[in-house]
A and B are shown apart, each in its own frame.
Chain A
Amino acid sequence: MITQNQPTDFASEQEVRWCPGCGDFAILAQIKKMLADMPLLREEQVFLSGIGCASRMPNYLSTYGFRGLHGGAVSAGMGLKLAQPNLTVWIVLGDGEGFGAATQHLLHACRRNVDIKVLFINNEIRGLSRGQESATTRPGTLTATCPEGSSDNPWHPCALALAAGATFVARSLDVDVDHLGTILQRASEHKGFAFVEILQNCKVYNDLVFDNLATQHDRPEHLVYLEHGKPMVYGAQSRQGIKFENASVSLVQPNHTASTAPAIHDEACESPFAAQMLATLENPDFPECIGVFRAVTRICHHESFYRGTNTPNPEIPKLDLEGPDSFPVE
């Protein structure tokens, strides 16, 4: 039975132990709010994670939770979904784990359209192990293992998920709670693999990495809020927009002429190509995009997996020990 819940009903008995000011607090609050607001059965919500700061999330929620191996949560979630397809399976990954030990599992889950919801909490640093660079750390970042600044090129998480075939890809911010709440709801409702990148501030090891997006005042100047069917514009009075031109993105200042008209966002587009371009835009040359990049429908992994073998058997199943080549002893 679904009863009216409050977000506080979804707090577990465990004491929350993140650093003061950590962006994970806001994310946890929005997860609880989403769980309370949506018509979901508590016992059918399962959160899985591995090792990392963000991976403590399942311990702090009063749903079913499983905190396993560094890099193992995606595949464990896949197995859980095969055992019990009715469950809603959430995976919480940090960028260190998600694009470290879990990368291969993650990419294959994308292509198989496993019906799990991955919350990819990206602070561009490995926090729990005290500040080493991850695969999303931007060049020049000073880390415990790159004292002169990281020199490697980072991955764009949403672009990679799109390239791997994810059917739902979105990005949000820890500090934009309303937007984050909406995106979590959308992910929960998506049938298939959902990848949500949440930009999150690590107060201790990578503070202010998203400083340009931190305040409500600054955000409109640096962000495009993607909305399906609407023009992609940003800045005060939507004075700037983006459009696709010659397989790349360019900036325009809309002035009611066809050549300056911003592109209309189409999250249901079959091709992920445009979404991939949007997912790689970065300040300061371009605005960054948040919202739903892609939401398309495909058959889920557990549906295709059980197709054929899951047809109801009218007879009581019996183990055939004899096989085709048994013989009576004459």
Chain B
Amino acid sequence: MEGKVVNPGKPDLGAPSLPLAPAHALRMTGDAHDGIAMLSHLFALAAGSRGYHLYSVPEYPAEIRAHANTLAGVYTSSLAFAPYHEPIDDRTSFLLAMNPAGLKLHESSLEKDGILLANSDSFGPDELACAGYLENPLAGKNQLFHRTISVPMSQLTNHAINLTRAGEKGALLSYREVDRCRNLFALGMLLWYYSIPIDPVLRWLKQKFSINPSILDASQKAFKAGFIYSETANVFPQVPAYHPVESLSKKGRICRMISGNDASLLALKHVALKTNRPVLLASTSRPPSHEISSLAAKNTGDGFSFILADDEHAAASIAIGVSYGGGLGCTAVSGIGFPHQSEVVSLASAAELPLLLLEYQRAGISTGLPQRVAQSDLGMALMGRNGEAPLVVLAPDSPSDCFALTLLAAKVAMRFLAPVCILHDLLNSRASESWLIPEPESLPDFEFPHFASDSSSGPYECDDHLARPWITPGTPGKEHRLGGNERKLNSPQVSFLPLDHLAMNRHRAARMQRIAEFLGPLPVSGDNDAQILLLGWGGTKNVLEAATELARKNGISVAFAHLRFLNPLPKNMQMVLNSYPKVIVAELNSGRLFALLKEKFEFNGISFTRQDGLNFVISQVEQAIVQFARGESS
């Protein structure tokens, strides 16, 4: 089909040489004191070294310090690993439950033939009661799963370390310290089950605890004990056969697990280094944007800095002050902090200054649900300003895409002197995935003509990108006044005249069209003559993509496209929508993108949404595709 951009290959990783195996979803759950985060991190480290592609999503308790072993205190990490980008479904193949409350929350997600591995030492009467179990679900007539492996991990950990004489007079470690190693015992069991070498973990432990030989010794003992116990006690009924993907196995390539927040931060630091201009992130403590704030505070230097502002308006105002001074002012914001920054976005638009908003969407209104996923702020990003003040809106499609897209956003902001918003959701900011670290020379440069302070143009004269020169205070002979007042086009003169106002509105709209050209078209994967197009945006990409694959296997001809640029929309948007008889727009809100597209374009489509604070489920999306294809829904 003419004009259609087709991108059939999977990005970055190349085609696998082995037949595709389904993603294996492993869920680790337990109390806040069970060390689930460390367990998950080390599992990913070891599995990643083996070449698996991993995708992990943590779920934190909403309470800061919930009572032990209650449902409110459960910490869970869901981890999908496969020789490919595969999504986490709500179906778990392997559930590690370190306490009954974790099992209670996730028992419904375990497949019928899935494996439940539990620390039986934490399934005492009190813990069971806290979780709401009347009987022990691990054994007896109330056993939930026929493939339940019940292991007294706390006792075995204690035995493994007991050479250190825990708790006795002269012992190097307390009982508490010994017991905290039980997560490493569990890790050892998991690695044995999946045939993953233990060396990366041993190296990590050695580095981490080098200053505390007692802890190091205990950790290594517990970890190895779990690994050996799995073999000697013949714990697992069978071992799954997974193989690392060929393209990830290339010698010499370095990989890491990267969260969206890590990736965004790396990108900002790259901008500071490449431009030799200050990049400053100003934000508040509002969750979930507080996560990147904490990360940024620990990673300042080489031109990148962070400040915790006292409210969102102050944060955005500090950022615009940085941009006025010639740096890149950035702000991180969530929930109702976003509207507080609306007028600063308008100011950036009027004064033509770069401003980068890292917006972290969360479910709910008002106080909201910062632990729940939603694409809740698209309406605010697109429409939430007085007057015609355009805001460039981008959305990363995966954790690692936060790196590429933040670089692109910074480039747009600085090249066009415009405010840019990156709409994150928890699926791309908090989640992590394997990332092949790019070669430094492949990273973009930031050389723009209007960086030069000796520009012969006046401070208001636009270039071919419709951007004025970025002349900053301190430049001799170029003193000028900027601000939020409407003015005459290409002139400093404040003007209230209708024609000047119209000219400026048109100027700002025309610049958005230049930005659309700069960003490029929307790629589409799948058959050119597909009957249905599935269209999404944000962190749901891997689920939607997998649903598309599943539908294809079931005989439905379906194409897939995922928007990373939401304002301005890609120039080929109309063509893409009109290239398919039917379009499904899938998003985690009430259908905001669908409404926008319907307003702008003629096409035959339906809105597929979810609004309960959870991600899509592959099978449900696939079902929607099938039903729509057969004309069963409208």
Contact = CB atoms under 8 A, between A and B. Distances in A.
Nearest to A327: B49
Given A62-B479, A80-B473, 10 more contacts: A68-B317, A77-B321, A79-B322, A83-B327, A104-B310, A317-B302, A319-B270, A326-B255, A327-B49, A329-B244
Given A68-B347, A69-B343, A76-B324, A326 B437 contact: yes
B45 A66 contact: no
B485 interface: yes
Contact of B494 (A14, A66, A328): A14
A308 B294 CA distance: 18
Interface in A42-91: 42-44, 46, 48, 58-59, 62-69, 71-84, 86-87
24 contacts: A14-B481, A42-B476, A43-B477, A58-B481, A64-B480, A66-B324, A67-B481, A72-B344, A74-B317, A79-B325, A82-B280, A82-B305, A83-B324, A83-B327, A84-B474, A87-B474, A104-B311, A305-B305, A309-B300, A319-B440, A319-B443, A325-B204, A327-B200, A329-B50
Q: Which of A65, A108, A321 has the most CB of B within 10 A?
A: A321
Interface stretch (B93-101, B222-230, B245-253, B508-516): B245-253
B347 A327 contact: no
Interface of A: 12-14, 41-44, 46, 48, 58-59, 62-69, 71-84, 86-87, 104-105, 108, 305-306, 309, 313, 317-319, 321-323, 325-330
Nearest to A111: B310
B1 to A, nearest CB: 39
A175 to B, nearest CB: 28
A84 B325 contact: yes
Contacts of A43: 473-479
Given A76-B318, A319-B269, A322-B256, A327 B48 contact: yes
A143 to B, nearest CB: 26
B319 interface: yes
Contact of B318 (A65, A75, A87, A318): A75
Given A69-B484, A84-B326, A84-B473, A327 B255 contact: yes
Contact of A72 (B51, B313, B323): B313
B501 interface: no
Contacts of A87: 325, 473-474
A67 B485 contact: yes
Interface string B170-213: 00000000000000000000000000010010001000000000
A83 B481 contact: no
A313 B438 CA distance: 24
Given A69-B343, A305-B305, A326-B255, A79 B477 contact: no
Given A108-B314, A327-B45, A327-B256, A76 B437 contact: no
Interface string B19-63: 000000000000000000000010001001111000000000000
Contact of A86 (B250, B437, B474): B474
Contacts of A317: 273, 302-303
B249 A66 contact: no
A322 B50 CA distance: 17
B282 interface: yes
A88 to B, nearest CB: 10
Q: Which of B250, B300, B438 has the most CB of A within 10 A?
A: B300
B307 interface: yes
B257 interface: yes
Given A68-B347, A75-B309, A104-B311, A319 B273 contact: yes
